[in-house]
Each structure stands twice: as structure tokens, then as C-alpha cells.
């Protein structure tokens, strides 16, 4: 599933100089992805400014607020409104959902600097161990990653985005693109929170990007037992996955991949 997007909201055609050995330097129009500053409000309080693509904003806001523990009770969400003219999303709860006090507005860029080293000790109660009796076959993992890497038309057009997907262990049910891999995972988890489609025991996140501590912590928070990536993990991500029950696989490319934690859930 992928929402339709208008090109003018996603990328610009910019005049550049391109060099090739056959033609030398030539002036061409090149599609370059456009990032926007998206403001997220919780109960009329501005919580964060996210550097992101201007689509799937409901999913992005809910995923961010939940995985970052600004919202704890998803059933307390009363409304989610995208204010397009303001590049903002307003989330309203019944007043009992917020578990993290908002002391100042955070600004999160699309860079890798967003990650933290460990889950905040004051919030460990919101990150229970992920338990699952489900298994995935190695062939399914290879096939699904191939499906993910082929799925993004925006990446094929611009080369400037990451892609993540939610699967039920059988098929991909939702795909998201964004300039930041964290945003992609927020969108995937946000979509599941809003739609409640996949049994927690069988949730799989497929990702094109590197897996850091922040990505694994989001999977723990979203009770996702499988994180499968085209790229590499960090040491902290592996340690966290082992501690909290996440099956983490990386470098899923061609006919091989590495398993870093809880390999008992992956069958040959």
C-alpha cells in the first residue's frame, strides 16, 4: 500500500551539470528530493519539528509520538489532523495519553545524529521484552527484501530516500519513503497503530537503512519482533536487540544475510 503523492510536494527538477565519459559535461534537469519542516502538536503544544517528506504525515506524527513515549495509550487518541497549509500535524488525546512531559521543542533533522545510546532508564517500563513464537524462512527474507528494494519509485527517480515496510510475515502491507530512515520506521509503526492490521506476534519491519539503537528501540516500543535490513547494524543496536527479544538481520542482499540476534526465529 502506498499513498499517491504529487511531484511538486516531493521533488524539484533542478538544472545541474552532469559528466559522462561518452558525452563529457552536459546541462540537464535532475529530480532532487525535497525535505520539509513538519511541526507536530500534541494537545495544542508543539512537540517537535521533523525534517521529512510531506506525505504520510498522520502516520509519521503518531509513530513519532508513540515511539518517543509522548503518547502511551493509543486508545486515548481522539483526532489526528494534517494542516497542509502550515506543514503541521495536530494530535489530540483525551488527556491521559501523554507520558513524557514537553519541556521544549525538539528539532530533528534527517541526519544520523538523532540516535541515542540507550533507552532512557526512566522509561524502561514502556519498553517490555518482545516475545514471539513466529518464525521466518531465509528464502522469505531474501524475497521480501528484494520486493522492498524494487518498490520505491521515488528512490528510482531521485535516489534520495530511504524505504521501510511493515509485513505480517507473509506479505508487505504498508510501505513508506522518507529522507530519514527513522521517519520511515515511525510511519510504519504509526500506520499500524492507526489501522491495527498485523498480529504483534508476526510484525516484521523491512528497512533499506542502517539499523542503529533508535531504530531498534522503536521496534521494541512497537512490539515488532523482526527487524530486517538491507544495510548494517551498529553494536548498540545488536546489544539492544539481544536484550529485548528482537530478531535482527542485516546485509540482506542477493542470496545472503547476517543474523545478529535471536536466530532461533529464522529457519534455513
**What is the residue-wise DSSP string for 230-262?**
SSPBPHHHHHHHHHHT-EEEEEEETTEEEEEE-
Give the containing element (helix H, strand E) for 207. strand 204-207
Alpha helices in the chain (DSSP H): 7-10, 57-67, 138-151, 153-158, 181-195, 213-221, 235-244
Half-sphere exposure of 215 (CA within 13 A, CB side): 35
Note if 212 is an active site residue. Answer: no
Q: What structural domains and CATH numbers belong to the chain?
A: 136-267 (3.40.140.10)
Cell of 146: 528484494
* 95: its cell numbers: 488527556
List pLDDT tens digits, range 73-132: 999 999 999 998 899 999 999 976 666 665 555 555 555 444 433 466 667 788 999 999
**237 grid coordinates:** 543496536
Is residue 41 over pLDDT 60? Answer: yes
**Cα–Cα dist 220/89, whole Å:** 25
Q: Which of 112, 138, 172, 232 is catalytic?
A: 112
Q: Are strands 77-83 and 45-52 parallel, antiparallel or unpaired?
A: unpaired
Averaged pLDDT for residues 210-232: 96
Is 206 within 8 Å of 228 (Cβ atoms)? yes
- Report yes or no: 220 and 120 within 8 Å, Cβ to Cβ: no
CA–CA gap between residue 168 and residue 209 (Å, rounded): 20
The per-residue pLDDT for 122 is: 65
How confident is the model at residue 36, as a pLDDT?
92
Provide CB contacts within 8 A for 62, sequence distance 6+. 71, 74, 77, 80, 91, 190, 193, 194
Does pLDDT of 202 surpass 80?
A: yes
Q: Is residue 253 pLDDT above 70, yes or no?
A: yes
Amino acid at each position: 500500500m502506498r499513498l499517491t503523492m504529487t511531484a511538486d510536494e516531493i521533488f524539484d527538477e533542478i538544472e545541474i551539470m552532469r559528466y559522462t565519459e561518452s558525452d563529457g559535461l552536459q546541462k540537464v534537469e535532475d529530480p532532487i528530493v525535497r525535505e520539509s519542516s513538519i511541526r507536530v502538536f500534541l494537545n495544542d503544544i508543539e512537540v517537535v519539528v521533523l525534517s521529512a517528506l510531506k506525505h504520510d504525515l498522520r502516520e509519521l506524527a503518531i509513530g513519532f509520538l508513540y515511539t518517543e513515549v509522548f503518547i502511551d495509550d493509543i486508545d486515548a487518541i481522539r483526532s489526528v489532523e494534517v494542516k497542509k497549509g502550515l506543514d503541521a500535524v495536530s494530535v489530540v488525546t483525551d488527556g491521559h495519553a501523554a507520558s513524557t512531559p514537553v519541556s521544549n521543542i525538539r528539532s530533528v533533522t534527517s541526519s544520523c545524529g538523532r540516535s541515542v545510546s540507550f533507552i532512557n532508564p526512566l522509561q524502561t517500563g514502556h519498553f517490555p521484552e518482545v516475545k514471539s513464537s513466529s518464525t521466518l524462512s531465509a528464502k522469505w527474507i531474501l524475497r521480501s527484501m528484494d520486493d522492498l528494494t524494487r518498490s520505491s519509485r521515488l528512490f528510482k527517480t531521485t535516489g534520495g530516500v530511504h524505504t521501510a515496510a511493515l509485513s505480517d510475515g507473509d506479505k508487505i502491507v504498508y510501505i513508506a519513503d522518507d529522507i530519514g530512515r527513522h521517519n520511515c520506521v515511525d510511519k510504519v509503526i504509526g500506520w499500524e497503530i492507526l489501522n491495527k492490521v498485523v498480529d504483534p506476534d508476526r510484525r516484521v519491519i523491512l528497512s533499506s537503512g542502517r539499523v542503529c539503537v533508535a531504530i531498534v528501540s522503536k521496534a521494541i516500543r512497537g512490539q515488532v519482533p523482526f527487524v530486517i535490513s538491507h544495510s548494517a547494524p551498529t553494536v548498540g543496536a545488536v546489544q539492544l536487540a539481544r536484550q529485548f527479544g528482537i530478531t535482527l538481520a542485516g546485509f540482506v542482499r542477493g542470496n545472503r544475510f547476517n543474523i545478529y540476534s535471536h536466530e532461533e526465529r529464522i529457519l534455513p
